[in-house]
Amino acid sequence: MHIAEGVCSGPVLVAGLSLAAAGVAYGIKRMDSDSVPKVGVLSSAFFVASLIHVPIGPVSTHLVLNGLMGLLLGWAAFPAIMVALVLQAVLFQYGGLTTLGVNTVNMAVPAVICFFLFGALARGEGVNKAALAGFACGFVSLTLSLIGVATALLLTQKAFLTPVKIVLISHIPIMVIEGIITAFALMFLKKVKPEIMEIDS
Amino acid sequence: MMMLPALRTCAWFLCLVVVFLSPVSGYAHKVMVFAYLEGERVHVEGYFADGKKAEHSRVEVFGPSGEKLLETRTDARGLTSFPVFELPEIRIVLDASMGHKAEYTLTRESPAPEAPLSILDSPDTPVVRTRERTGPAEEELIREIMSEELEKALVPIVRELRLNARDRTTLTEIIGGVGYIAGIFGLIMYFKSRGRRSEDGS
């Protein structure tokens, strides 16, 4: 999920960085001081989630939780994800500082898309709706993130096309796992603190 | 007001994290490559930070000026090898797809047979006299035997060292990272609330 240093071409990196900067700026602007702790907590969750490792086929992968972040944070998912990615890059050489923009966009854009797609469903009456929204969110956000990574690689080099197909198929189990985890998280939140999902779009 | 749900979310995630981290003991997920010289072959080993082998990953070898020397793939154990090149330095790039890429530079510090006996080249050491007495052919033989034996003995040690030195994600780093995040968002909250207070005041 994290693109390493020296994989993407210059234009891809610059485009990613400018998109990420715009998203982060907008996210911070939209964030009111009351929701800052929530953003911080979810940023920490994202930071730690990437260290949970699941081996799948030729590649090992991990939970991303960007769907959950999108649902709970909206646009604030951008700053939350970027802060976590900076620390992952600095502490674990995970991803990289040059690919920070691309990685932020790959994970935050699906989060925001999920917020608009499933936000209303998640806020609807009943725990079942929240579970459904959660599963869809986890599954779709991860799929979109993988497509984002694939696009960034394809824009750099066409030869990546074949592994991309394999990776998309081999990631279906982790998409399902991500969906289930997000569904449980939302069901839990719906029961104990439903107002956490109230954010103005 | 938002602090309470935030704390609850935090507690919930901590439980989740503990459940998931316990069996995997906290490794980051990053691909790494390691190469070493054994006899006349270069051995390459690709693995993820959690110890899983990088199976069937593309390995490319580049010369000092960036020219591609060869391309191969690792086997199911994440290993591959190729004959040594007569070059001072080669760069080995492993690509485990989807942006997972690592490289390793293998340098040959002076031709291997010279190394074990280099101490004898110092003119101050009395050993030099012994060396003068031996013929050039004999000396060459000693050099060869010694380097062979040393290599045999050193390869596993070097490999062990390398495996021990590989990056591991420690709990300290994870907790440190979470602490940094708390600090960063605390700072953001400080500036946001200060801005709001000055607005209220005016």
Minimum distance, in Å, between the CA of residue B191 and any CA atom of chain A: 9
Token pair of B196 as six digits: 């709001």
pLDDT by position in tens, chain A (length 201):
678 877 788 888 999 999 999 999 999 888 887 888 889 999 998 988 887 666 655 555 678 889 999 999 999 999 999 999 999 888 887 888 889 999 999 999 999 999 999 988 888 888 888 899 999 999 999 889 988 888 888 888 766 566 667 767 877 888 888 899 899 988 888 888 888 777 765
Q: Does domain A10-192 fall into CATH 1.10.10.10?
A: no
CA distance B98 to A39: 28
* Interface probe, candidates A5, A47, A91, chain B, greatest B C-beta count within 10 A: A91
Residue A148's beta-bridge partner residues? Answer: none
A160 contacts on B by Cβ (under 8 Å): 97
A181 contacts on B by Cβ (under 8 Å): 16
Domain ranges of chain A: 10-192
What sign results for the dihedral spanned by CA atoms B137, B138, B140, B145? positive
User: Per the CB < 8 Å rule, is B178 touching A44?
Assistant: yes
The count of CB pairs under 8 A between chains A and B is 168
Q: Angle A84-A135-A167 (CA atoms, 0-180°, nearest 5)? A: 65
- Pair A80, A46: CB distance under 8 Å: yes
- Pair A74, A30: CB distance under 8 Å: yes
Domains and their CATH numbers in chain B? 27-108 (2.60.40.730), 111-168 (no CATH)
Q: What is the ipTM of this complex?
A: 0.74
What pLDDT does residue B128 have? 47
**% residues pLDDT > 90 (chain A):** 35
pLDDT by position in tens, chain B (length 202):
445 555 565 565 555 554 444 433 333 357 788 887 777 788 888 877 666 777 788 888 888 888 888 888 888 888 888 888 888 888 888 887 666 778 888 887 644 444 444 444 555 545 444 555 567 788 889 988 888 888 888 877 877 776 666 556 677 888 888 889 999 888 888 888 777 676 665 5
CA distance B67 to B91: 10
User: Per the CB < 8 Å rule, is B29 touching A192?
Assistant: no
The model carries a pTM of: 0.68
B169 contacts on A by Cβ (under 8 Å): 51, 92
Nearest to A83 among B31, B56, B184 (CB): B184
pLDDT tens digits along A10-39:
888 999 999 999 999 999 888 887 888 889
pLDDT tens digits along B111-159:
444 444 444 455 554 544 455 556 778 888 998 888 888 888 887 787 7
Minimum distance, in Å, between the CA of residue A133 and any CA atom of chain B: 18
- Pair A182, A135: CB distance under 8 Å: yes
Minimum distance, in Å, between the CA of residue B65 and any CA atom of chain A: 17
What pLDDT does residue A107 have? 92
